[in-house]
Structure 1
Amino acid sequence: MDEQNTALTTLVGSPIRVRVLRELVRSQKNISELESRVNATRRTIIRNLNQLETEGWIHQTDGRYYVRNTSGELIERLLDLFERADHVRNLNCVLENMPVDTIDVESKTLLECDVIVRKPSCPGAPIEQTVDLIQASTQVYTFLPTVTRQLVDAHGSSLHKETQLK
């Protein structure tokens, strides 16, 4: 059991390592490519690569790192689990502020929905993302603690598109 815990800790013991793995699952990369995509120092990336390589999760050839064939599927599942956990965390933040006793939405529907959370680094992004999602959707349920003109217009164009389809 301790060896299993060590293997799992190696994979998920650092958020940087998780981001490195996410990049390597997509395609082989060298250190410079990882440095630009992972948002970490070269030293931190090399330390994490060395740990992953020592444990046998990744391999390096000619300065390019890649996920071993035997590790790829497990790492992809693990990354998917991380994405789902982030989704549930964001959903829980929304549900804390949502009058859940007054809406009739199944939990399965909530788990399948897109949750957009405002980040301090890009405060306007949630509105832009929400508008894009509404315009691309065939069915829209929204809970918005703040309503803007952009969102109202997006809902209007979505409803207009739906009536044209009928």
Structure 2
Amino acid sequence: MFTPLEDIRFLADSENRFTALEALAAGSRTRSELRSVTEASSATISRLLGDFESRGWVARDGNRYALTPLGEYVASEFIDLYDHMTTASDLRELLPWFPLGALDVEFDLEILTGARITAATPDDPMAPVARVLDIERESTRTNTLADKFPEPCIEARHEAVVGGTQTMELVTTPAVIESVMTSPCADEFEDIVAADRSTVYVYDGDVPPGGIYDGTAYLIVLDDRDVSVGLIESDDPALVDRLTETVDEYREASTRLTTSELRNGQESGWAET
């Protein structure tokens, strides 16, 4: 008889056991298939399946193994726990900087279970920035709040909107516009503003960086030095709806930017609502 803690330790102490359980949760498997998915030896798979059978989690049918109803229950609960702990691990360094105040919503971390989290690391401090550039370059439709618009982002947007087929809505600030128009990418930005598939708005105040792309919400996490330390992406409807409402609120309080204002340098006009 195994205690609950013994069963938890049994699964948690071996990546092979968890990987095999996850594979079996998707459908029946042969020993060979389990060896392939776990990259474990035949002896390891034999012991693993024997342990699963002794716990009543797996039944054999010919040369295939499938989860029993009890095994399906265990797999569902343990995989769910694993997903939650993965999210907790990924958020550990980001949560102190998570922009809850800027979103002005009550937030349930359950929403982030299964989210794609890209964190800056000592080995790859630019990972969040690189992922943002992928989003800006590859998305079909974007609604973005931008507190910065550096040259690589302008180039990515120019490629996607002017040179491609992306539809873009951007809400940014007078300070960002002023910075962009004194950069080497001023002409490219003007092309973006003039493009039929692009609409740029200027909000007189700060905006929380993030937005929606192709039905997925994304939040850029900044530390107290205003440095990007992470990117969180989720298609959870609750988060998508909340962020969509936030983008709408900033857009409605903004003024649309025109190419004539860019050419005439009417900074004061950008700040009017």
Quickly name the TM-score band, shorter chain normalised. Answer: 0.5 to 0.7
The Cα shift of 1:76 comes to 0.8
Q: Distance in 1 between matches of 2:37 and 2:132?
A: 22
Unaligned residue ranges in structure 2 (runs of 5+): 170-196, 200-247, 249-273
8 Å CA contact 2:34, 2:45 repeated in 1: yes
Asked whether 1:131 is paired with 2:134, we answer yes
8 Å CA contact 2:59, 2:66 repeated in 1: yes
* Residues 8 and 111 (structure 1), Cα distance of their counterparts in 2 relative to 1, 3 Å cut: closer
Q: Distance in 2 between matches of 1:67 and 1:39?
A: 20
The worse-fitting range, judged by mean Cα deviation, of 125-134 and 53-62 is: 125-134
The worse-fitting range, judged by mean Cα deviation, of 80-89 and 41-50 is: 41-50
Asked whether 1:79 is paired with 2:79, we answer yes
What SS class does the counterpart of residue 65 from structure 2 fall into?
strand
Partner of 1:58: 58
Partner of 1:108: 107
Normalised to the residue count of structure 1, the TM-score between the two structures is 0.66
Q: Distance in 1 between matches of 2:47 and 2:145?
A: 45
Partner of 1:159: 168
Aligned partner letter, 1:116: I
The Cα shift of 1:102 comes to 7.6
**1 or 2, which has the higher strand percentage?**
2
Q: Distance in 2 between matches of 1:151 and 1:90?
A: 30
**1 or 2, which has the higher helix percentage?**
1
8 Å CA contact 2:20, 2:34 repeated in 1: yes
8 Å CA contact 2:19, 2:38 repeated in 1: yes
Deviations 1:71-96 (A, max 9, x none): 31232122011111101211223336
* Residues 2 and 56 (structure 1), Cα distance of their counterparts in 2 relative to 1, 3 Å cut: closer
8 Å CA contact 2:28, 2:66 repeated in 1: yes
Q: Distance in 1 between matches of 2:71 and 2:198?
A: 45
What SS class does the counterpart of residue 36 from structure 2 fall into?
helix
The Cα shift of 1:39 comes to 3.1
Query: Cα RMSD between the aligned structures?
Result: 4.5
The worse-fitting range, judged by mean Cα deviation, of 5-14 and 30-39 is: 5-14
In terms of Rg, which structure is larger?
2
8 Å CA contact 1:22, 1:79 repeated in 2: yes
Between Structure 1 and Structure 2, how many residues are aligned?
Answer: 159
Aligned partner letter, 2:93: C
Aligned partner letter, 2:139: Q
Asked whether 1:38 is paired with 2:42, we answer no
* Residues 137 and 78 (structure 1), Cα distance of their counterparts in 2 relative to 1, 3 Å cut: farther
Alignment of 1:85-104 (within 5 A): 85-95=85-95, 98=97, 103-104=102-103
What SS class does the counterpart of residue 117 from structure 1 fall into?
strand
What SS class does the counterpart of residue 108 from structure 1 fall into?
coil
The Cα shift of 1:107 comes to 6.8
What SS class does the counterpart of residue 93 from structure 1 fall into?
coil
The worse-fitting range, judged by mean Cα deviation, of 107-116 and 73-82 is: 107-116
8 Å CA contact 2:56, 2:70 repeated in 1: no
8 Å CA contact 2:100, 2:107 repeated in 1: no
Structure number with higher relative contact order (C-alpha < 8 Å, ≥ 6 residues apart): 2
